[in-house]
Structure 1
């Protein structure tokens, strides 16, 4: 959890911030919520789900301000996850199961991951388009994988288009997480260096090929022509340095169509050095379609 004062944290949480921002700021609380959800879903008991949803809605009773902040964060995260999974916080589930079933799990694994774990692969649209409609429990996928730092999946067609946009120029990915996207791009022939300040390590797998650098330092020392960022946290304080780096000619942001969910839109609108265009064709190549992704291209004037 962040070292900000508890009173400031409480005010921030009560201001209804985006769930992605809460997850980034409270990784331990998010891990706890995921464990609780996994346990209750595994029981395959609708009444247990309803009881958990009701418990989430109750005001927390804790001994001090710091504990209250933690409890409020867990409450916000749990309510958001239940909503994503189609569960009403007012106990609106009356029948059915919340388990990611055998068939849905098998199809999702084959489509999106390499092997039996959670290592992503470039997704073939040739297979995704006919098979994805057969996955009946689509809404459960992202709540199950987001604790591991997976906010989207990249189609092989998207990788090819990004390589063409990079066009042989030196590229730095900032806030690269586990470096999956940079790996895909390098395998396809692009010159991409993944960088991250590793503040994500509590929730994501380690990656030896991701350089331990914050965005400002990476941009200053590497002076790239192209910068890439996938799902930057909402209201982050590092994207501004992209617009202040003279070497940058193109900035590519893989993000959400919902401006409150990702990216620093204040900086996007205040900067004057770049033209901003949303590319709907690229956005459709980010998977799955249900998450409402968008790809934004910033080009220096």
Structure 2
């Protein structure tokens, strides 16, 4: 049995320790909670979720009462404090893993089962919808265990997320870009630029903010349309991830004299991403679909495509 100091008990009772910190400090209780919540994997009725929340809430209230009445008696604390920690874990997981509870509307009760949500949240996000570079090895291992893969992208599309970037992809892009002055256009929330900056790449994220109804733009993403940004920064390299199909801005990349490298991350389908008419007319650039880089975009798909455009040498 784990033992707790009075100070630890006091801080937990006062809710002074964030759940994220508790998860790190007491991983054994997290595993117990996940096992206890396993019923949700095969039963997503809202009343089941409600019953679980009610049970944990009642358990935490009883444990809190027992501890306080005991005057933080060591034996009482050691028996009942884990019940409070586990209750906080359970409710936190249900909230964070997109499990929405509604006793009146079973159809909206659960968007991901607990197991899918737990795996995807840990693999793909730091918190909320804040993406992180994804370990390709871990992704390949866990992805096969996801029951409802088809839910992921429709869910995150609502937040302006159309792909995830593996660590291996970021490393390869960093090598390609090297010490070039780089610009990302139509950058959305700036995730790709942020990852590249962490690799010491000189990259600047810009977007015209036309998708404010979907995306929360951070201050790190400069409000500027592609043409204006290209004129302002005269970049040597340009990136664009999931450009709108038939968009009006990629053509300006090929018209910018300073650009000698353009990388488009998206799909091979003209109806889904990219201005393929502009690609065809970019006679001063070579065009290559990198199968290696395409395979590093996540989730995996035969349609994933990373196109590399290089300015042709004159001779």
Query: 1:234 & 1:191 partners in 2: Cα distance?
Result: 27
TM-superposed deviation, 1:270: 1.4
Q: Deviations over 1:213-268 (max 9, x none)?
A: 10000101110000000000000000000000000000000011222210000111
Q: Which residue of 2 aligns with 1:103?
A: 115
2:159 pairs with one of 115, 131, 148:
148
Give the paired residue count.
207
2:143 pairs with one of 107, 132, 137:
132
Q: Which residue of 1 aligns with 2:264?
A: 253
Q: Deviations over 1:156-197 (max 9, x none)?
A: 000000011111110000000110100000011100000001
2:285 pairs with one of 265, 270, 274:
274
**What is the aligned-residue RMSD (CA, Å)?**
1.6
Which structure 2 segments of 5+ residues have no match? Answer: 1-43, 47-108
Q: Secondary structure at the match of 2:117?
A: helix
Is 1:221 the counterpart of 2:248? The answer is no
Which structure 1 segments of 5+ residues have no match? Answer: 1-41, 45-96
Task: Name the structure, 1 or 2, with higher relative contact order (CA <8 Å, separation 6+).
Answer: 1
> For 1:1-301, what aligned pairs fall within 5 Å after superposition?
99-115=111-127, 117-290=128-301, 292-301=303-312
Query: 1:43 & 1:241 partners in 2: Cα distance?
Result: 51
TM-superposed deviation, 1:290: 3.5
Runs (4+) off by over 6 Å: none
Q: Which residue of 2 aligns with 1:47?
A: none
Query: 2:188 & 2:111 partners in 1: Cα distance?
Result: 28
Query: 1:220 & 1:226 partners in 2: Cα distance?
Result: 13
TM-score normalised by structure 1 residue count: 0.67
TM-score normalised by structure 2 residue count: 0.64
Q: Which moved more, 1:285-294 or 1:245-254?
A: 285-294
Q: Secondary structure at the match of 1:195?
A: strand
The structure having more radius of gyration, on CA atoms, is 2
